[in-house]
Amino acid sequence: MNRRDFSSKALLLAAGAGTLARSAPASAAGEFSGVIKKAIKFRDVNLPDLSVEDRFKAVKDLGFDGTELRTEDKENAAEFVKATEKTGLPVHGVINSSNPDLAGAIEFAASVGGNSILYVARYDRKRPLMESWNEAQTVIRQGLPAAEKHQVKILVENVWAGFLISALDTVRFVDEIDNPWFGSYFDVGNNVRWGVPQHWIELLGPRIGKLDIKEWDERKHKSEGLGKGFSSPIGEGTIEWDQVRAALKKIGYHGWATAEVGGGDRERLADIAARMDKVLALK
């Protein structure tokens, strides 16, 4: 079979809430409630005095539906499983970056209850482009038996690696592999340097397995430098979130959206949760 067949916001500061209300376009309240699940990268939960279980509880209490680990966390797999069992907060996936050991990452994801791994396909600029293309596809194909066995998808992400920098590249890359256990991990904010998020979403369609959420501010990019484009809070940059939502609705997206905006304490996490609620119409 081929791929085609197939409560706590009290900690939010009043000033931040006011800014948020002015920044994001209006949307139907709760339009994506129950459709998109909201998560935070576990490494961004900056509560060092708490145990893993208590951090899971805090994440859940702050309104997140789940979290995402990294391959480097696998030594503590049992602790994460226990935290999920005790709190009810699931681990939805594992970030594997460009580690070619996809089978190992898949096994770890399955052991903690996740259903995806994030893989970054790299481009070696000292070699011909198609060598990187073919090698990345080979790594992914080698991981597909484990993906099918454990029912964990391999999702390739568009990051600033200078590779898969157009929607058409990504469509071709995914379709050449043509496997139900492989797709795209679409990062809305990372994408803006290379294109328009809502246009990518429409083209990628059902190839999108999961979303990363961050802001991009073209004004800061132009006035303060490239990296400063990410410095605006979610909802206060230049991403057209109303158009992003419209594109997600058009393709019938249903699944996880994970904030990747840097770590913080409870106030910071509560602010992130509220901003995601706003731009993704979750409340």
Residue-wise pLDDT tens digits, 96-108: 999 999 999 999 9
Res 196 pLDDT > 50: yes
d(CA 17, CA 271): 8
- Angle 200-116-53 from CA coordinates, rounded to 5°: 120
Specify the DSSP class assigned to residue 156. Answer: E
**Mean local confidence (pLDDT), 159-178:** 92
Residue 24 burial (C-beta neighbours within 10 Å; 0-12, 13-18, 19+): buried
Task: For residue 170, name the pLDDT band (cuts at 50, 70, 90).
Answer: very high
With a CB cutoff of 8 Å and minimum separation 6, the contacts of 85 are none
**Mean local confidence (pLDDT), 69-82:** 98
Predicted TM-score (pTM) above 0.95: no
Residue 226: the pLDDT is 80
Q: Walk me through the domains of the chain, giving residue ranges and CATH numbers.
A: 47-210 (3.20.20.150)
**Mean local confidence (pLDDT), 54-82:** 98
Percent of the chain with pLDDT over 90: 78
Res 5 pLDDT > 60: no
